[in-house]
Amino acid sequence: MDPSCNDLWRDIFRKADKNDDDKLSQEEFFSYFGDDYLTDKELSDLFVAIDANSNAIIEVEELIGFFSSGLEPYKALFSLVETGQTSVNNALHELNKNYSTLEPIEQFKVRFFLREFLNQIQLLHKPISTVLNKLQKSNVKSSTQYLTKSASVKTTYSKYSLQTEVERLSSLLTKLEKSQISLHFKEQTKVDKSPEPGNVIFSREMKIQEDFIQDFKDSTNTYLSTTNQEPGCLYTYVKRYSQKNHFVIYSVWTSMDHLSKHYLAPHYRSHIKSIIDYLLEPESINRMAIPTSWCIKSPM
Q: How far is CA 92 from the centre of its chain?
A: 19
Characterize 144-176 residue by residue with b for buried, 16 or more Cβ atoms within 10 angstroms of its Cβ, and e for exposed.
eeeeeeeeeeeeeebeeeeeebeebbeebbeee
Distance CA 257, CA 99 (A): 15
- Cβ(240)–Cβ(195) below 8 Å: no
Q: Does the domain made of 3-69 have the CATH classification 1.10.238.10? A: yes
Length reported for the chain: 300
State pLDDT tens for residues 248-285: 999 999 888 889 889 888 899 889 888 988 898 888 88
Q: Read off φ and ψ for residue 250, nearest 5 degrees.
A: -110, 145
Instruction: Provide the CATH topology of domain 193-294.
Output: Alpha-Beta Plaits (3.30.70)
Half-sphere exposure of 180 (CA within 13 A, CB side): 1
Q: Per-10-residue mean pLDDT for the chain, 300 residues long?
A: 64 87 91 80 91 92 86 77 75 81 85 80 72 62 37 39 56 53 43 59 91 91 92 90 88 89 89 88 84 56
Distance CA 145, CA 163 (A): 23
User: Which of 80, 63, 78 has its CA nearest to residue 16?
Assistant: 63
pLDDT of residue 2: 52
pLDDT of residue 127: 72
Residue 179 in 3-state DSSP? coil
CA angle in degrees (0–180, nearest 5) for 176-279-165: 50
Residue 145 in 3-state DSSP? coil
Specify the pairing of strand 246-253 against strand 284-291: unpaired
- Cβ(208)–Cβ(219) below 8 Å: no
Count of beta carbons in the 10 Å neighbourhood of residue 41? 8
Write down the domain spans for the chain: 3-69, 102-186, 193-294
Q: How far is CA 62 from the centre of its chain?
A: 30
Residue 247 in 3-state DSSP? strand
CA distances from 77 to 143, 174, 185, 225 (A): 26, 12, 34, 39
